[in-house]
A and B are shown apart, each in its own frame.
Chain A
Amino acid sequence: MTEEQLNRALDLMRRLPPQQIEKNLSDLIDLVPELCEDLLSSVDQPLKIARDKKEGKDYLLCDYNRDGDSYRYSPWSNTYEPPLEDGTLPTDRLRRLEVEANAAFDQYRQMYFEGGVSSVYLWDLDHGFAGVILIKRAGDGARNIKGCWDSIHVIEVQEKSTGRSAHYKLTSTVMLWLQTSRPGSGTMNLGGSLTRQMEQDGTVSEPSSHIVNMGRLVEDMENKIRHTLNEIYFGKTKDIVNGLRSIQPLADQKQKQAFCEDLANALQKRQGKSDP
């Protein structure tokens, strides 16, 4: 029963307005408390920003860096806030990779997003490791439009026994939120997310190779998703709206169409006559 309930819960989250994800998820957990952990780990929520007061830096919160009610922050201090005695931490070798990954993706973020916050968290697996790369970029509210981009890239790295190559599996969700309130158009809220998956092999000559391989995969994925977001948000949904109502009177359009058909027929007849 619980597996069917989880499937139904996920189906519901794909249908309810994403603008209320947090409220919907909270209500869902209240309704079916047995699904709490499963839901928190499978439903993507907009990323929250927290502040590392010691380092004076921001970091991002999601379910992957949560343990109980505490969140771990990285790369700045690798501890839990609020403090957690037995909190899961990466092994030393993974922690070194995590520090490097945060620095690398910080630069990636600056080059593409020119602002925002990024965080990378890694955790050990049996034959490799997994991680999440998070990016949050809020707009500046120019032209009276509020916008926000959230990237959640979950990567699984299976290291081959030779240690010379690895298999990378990436599942990415990008959330895009746009809202405006203006006299002419009232309130307009266009938001939600798209999810894609990609996988690829990569050569590993040193630990840092993982960062190169993951970086390229994430970059390609984000560029693809950005393109699709553009098409769906500003193409598809707009076309649907304009298909619901026609600004031009439909009677006019029917007349125009009839006129075009008459013209085409007349041209055809004329061509028929002039052929030998």
Chain B
Amino acid sequence: MAPDDQISDQEKVRIASDFIRHAPPGEFNEVFTDVRVLLNNDTLLKEGVAGAFALYNKDQLTPVKLPTSSIPSLVTEHNDIGGGRFFDPRSKQSFKYDHLRKEASDLQAWESDSAVESWREALESQFTEYTANHYKHGVCAVFGQSRNDSISLVACIEDHQFQPKNYWNGRWRSQWCATISGGTGELQGTLRVQVHYYEDGNVQLVCSKNVKHSLTSSSELETAKEMVRLIEESESEYQLAINENYQTMSDTTFKALRRQLPITRSKVDWEKIISYKIGKEINKTQ
């Protein structure tokens, strides 16, 4: 493509936004700076691409410290109340979130949905204990919403390890949605893991799995316990399956691609290889 063949601003925004949204966990700032320099148009960046920052943070289930609370919350699509504000159901507050600085400010009181609050709190309590039990630095949040005949609950977990000095970053994200109506319900989960290793290279693990369970619900507490039991079972099963895959990939797939040594158990005899060719050449001229 000749340098005069410029793409439209709209296409540039699409590309820049795509790059931002695919930043590996812990590397948003670096990707942002790269994109900023390459786009070379701060106005276009601010007007067209800013939406991508918010989408990225929500998709990553980004943890956020609240100045007025000792327990952090999460920035997700489920607690987005528009105007750059999110709510924390645990501390019953809403806050303004700066997507570039990753900071909360302007805390205000926030009223929860009373019709679903007892269910939400019961799940939050069980879920928080579960998170502390399996995720060393995990942050979780539980959201609830009531509709006409049903309630929906969303429980999210985020845990990450950022070690840029050692050239790696990793993040685990769990998102569980329950819809309960009458005495039954459905529990749906999306589990995602991403790891980036980049010392003299670029290696990434990208995993995702969807899970479904049916629920019977009785009391708030019993339902919450049942949900957490299913979640624990599913997540551990998933983690075991990932580990099993690693074993098969290394024992079977990788070995079949390239041997450690030829079948002779010694390195190639290069002199022999070229002498064979020379022999052939000499024979040809005769």
Interface residue count on the A side (C-beta < 8 Å): 88
A8-29 at interface with B (beta carbon < 8 Å): 8-9, 11-20, 24, 27-29
How many contacts A-B (CB < 8 Å)? 269
Interface residue count on the B side (C-beta < 8 Å): 90
Q: Give the distance to chain B from A189, nearest Cβ to Cβ, in Å.
A: 5
Residues of A within 8 A of B90 (CB): none
A129-165: CB near B (< 8 Å → 1, else 0) gives: 0000000010110110101110000000000000000
A residues engaging B (CB < 8 A)?
1, 4-5, 8-9, 11-20, 24, 27-34, 36, 100, 103-104, 107-108, 111-114, 137, 139-140, 142-143, 145, 147-149, 176, 178, 180, 182, 184-196, 208, 211-212, 215-216, 219, 222-223, 226, 229-230, 232-234, 236-238, 240-247, 249-251
Q: Is the CB of A212 within 8 A of B248?
A: no
Q: Is the CB of B208 within 8 A of A145?
A: no
Q: Is the CB of A194 within 8 A of B201?
A: yes
Residue from the set B1, B5, B22, B235 with the largest chain A CB neighbour count within 10 Å: B22
A216 to B256 CA separation, bound complex (whole angstroms): 22
Q: Give the distance to chain B from A110, nearest Cβ to Cβ, in Å.
A: 9
Q: Is the CB of B161 within 8 A of A244?
A: yes
A189 to B245 CA separation, bound complex (whole angstroms): 11
Q: Give the distance to chain B from A184, nearest Cβ to Cβ, in Å.
A: 4
Interface segment, B69-77, B115-123, B148-156, B266-274?
B266-274
Q: Is the CB of A184 within 8 A of B244?
A: yes
In the complex where A8-B38, A180-B245, A219-B268 touch, is A193 in contact with B201 (Cβ < 8 A)?
Answer: yes
Cβ of B110 < 8 Å from any Cβ of A? no
Q: Is the CB of B202 within 8 A of A18?
A: yes
Cβ of B197 < 8 Å from any Cβ of A? yes
B residues engaging A (CB < 8 A)?
1-3, 5-7, 11-12, 15-16, 18-19, 22-24, 27, 30-31, 33-35, 37-40, 132-136, 138, 159-161, 168, 170-172, 191, 193, 195-198, 200-210, 235-246, 248-250, 252-254, 256-264, 267-268, 270-271, 273-274, 277-278
Residues of A within 8 A of B136 (CB): 243, 246, 250
